[in-house]
């Protein structure tokens, strides 16, 4: 017997909260975008006025962030679209595009910053430490507000953007400390050294973001649900003889999908199968698996996928 079952019973109960989350996620990214863009302009002017490569490099990084935030905002809106004939699982994965483009923009910006900083190391120039101090205080405040707003979010888009804003806060904290030192001690080389430190920290985080996004695109299992956990959880349900062809992946880091073949005793009735499917769905829903496709097979059936499992 073959029975394909799609679990849509969660869609009604979570529909409203998903819609609410998407709206909140869009609002969070929108607020962060406008804060970031306004500050990038202040920073660019301030960088020229203070002759600080650290501030100019951060301004470039912030403009990159603003561009990425605009894309993240757009892709977050696209990802709300329901499934259609073109994308049968919906548009959720479009939110990952923002994370990829964001990382590419930051990578290009970081390389430019490193080259500029090395040049400045060879030829140090005096920067206006007091001006840098003022900009650092404003930078920590503005980026801190935007970061706290986005840290509440759970989409990879929000997490990626939040990470970049955290980098900004840390970068400005470094500028703050450096500018205080430069007010009392004449060390112009400190400015490009700080700039290099910020750029290297950004590159380290880009690696982490791209790795996470690639894991999702390449159909990797979700970070918070292991294969073994699913097998262990289902092994406690009465009526399951064995399972095979288990596939577990995530659409966007939040919406998790599973497909599985369940083997049952040959004398199981339709009512028993319905009850069994209900138990399986409940068990998997508790593990935050939202979309379940299962095929029920009698133990007397032969499944080609057991021998030739992809």
**Better pLDDT: 161 or 227:** 227
List domains and CATH numbers for the chain. Answer: 14-217 (1.20.1510.10), 227-307 (3.30.70.1350)
Q: In what order do the strands lie in the sheet with 291-298?
A: 4-6, 291-298, 256-264, 240-250
149/115: higher pLDDT: 115
Residue range 138-142: mean pLDDT, rounded: 86
- The residue behind tokens 């690639």 is 214
Two tokens, residue 203: 């590159």
Mean pLDDT calculated for residue range 219-230: 84
Phi, psi of 294 (to 5 degrees): -125, 145
Residue ranges with strand state E in the chain: 4-6, 240-250, 256-264, 291-298
pTM over 0.75, yes/no:
no
What residues are paired with 295 via a beta bridge? 4, 261
Least confident among 10-19, 126-135, 144-153, 203-212: 10-19
């Amino acid at each position: 017997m073959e029975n394909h079952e799609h679990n849509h019973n969660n869609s009604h109960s979570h529909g409203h909260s998903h819609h609410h989350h998407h709206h909140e996620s869009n609002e969070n990214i929108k607020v962060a975008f406008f804060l970031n863009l306004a500050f990038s302009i202040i920073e660019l002017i301030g960088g020229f006025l203070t002759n600080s490569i650290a501030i100019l490099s951060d301004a470039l990084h912030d403009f990159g962030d603003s561009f990425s935030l605009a894309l993240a905002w757009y892709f977050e809106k696209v990802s709300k679209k329901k499934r259609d004939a073109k994308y049968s699982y919906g548009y959720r994965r479009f939110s990952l595009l923002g994370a990829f483009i964001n990382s590419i923009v930051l990578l290009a910006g970081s390389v430019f910053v490193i080259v500029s900083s090395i040049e400045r190391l060879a030829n140090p120039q005096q920067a206006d430490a007091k001006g840098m101090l003022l900009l650092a205080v404003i930078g920590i405040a503005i980026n801190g507000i935007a970061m706290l707003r986005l840290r509440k979010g759970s989409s990879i888009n929000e997490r990626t953007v939040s990470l970049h804003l955290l980098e900004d806060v840390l970068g400005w904290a470094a500028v703050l400390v450096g500018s205080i030192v430069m007010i009392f001690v004449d060390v112009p080389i400190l400015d490009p050294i700080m700039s290099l430190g910020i750029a290297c920290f950004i590159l380290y985080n880009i690696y982490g973001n791209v790795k996470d996004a690639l894991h999702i695109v390449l159909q990797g299992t979700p970070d918070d649900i292991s294969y073994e956990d699913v097998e262990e959880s289902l092994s406690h349900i009465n009526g399951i003889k064995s399972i095979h062809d288990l596939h577990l992946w995530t659409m966007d880091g939040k919406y998790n999908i599973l497909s599985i073949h369940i083997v049952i005793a040959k004398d199981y009735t339709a009512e028993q199968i319905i009850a069994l499917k209900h138990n399986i769905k409940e068990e998997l829903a508790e593990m935050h698996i939202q979309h379940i496709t299962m095929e029920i097979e009698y133990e007397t059936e032969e499944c080609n996928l057991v021998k030739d499992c992809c």
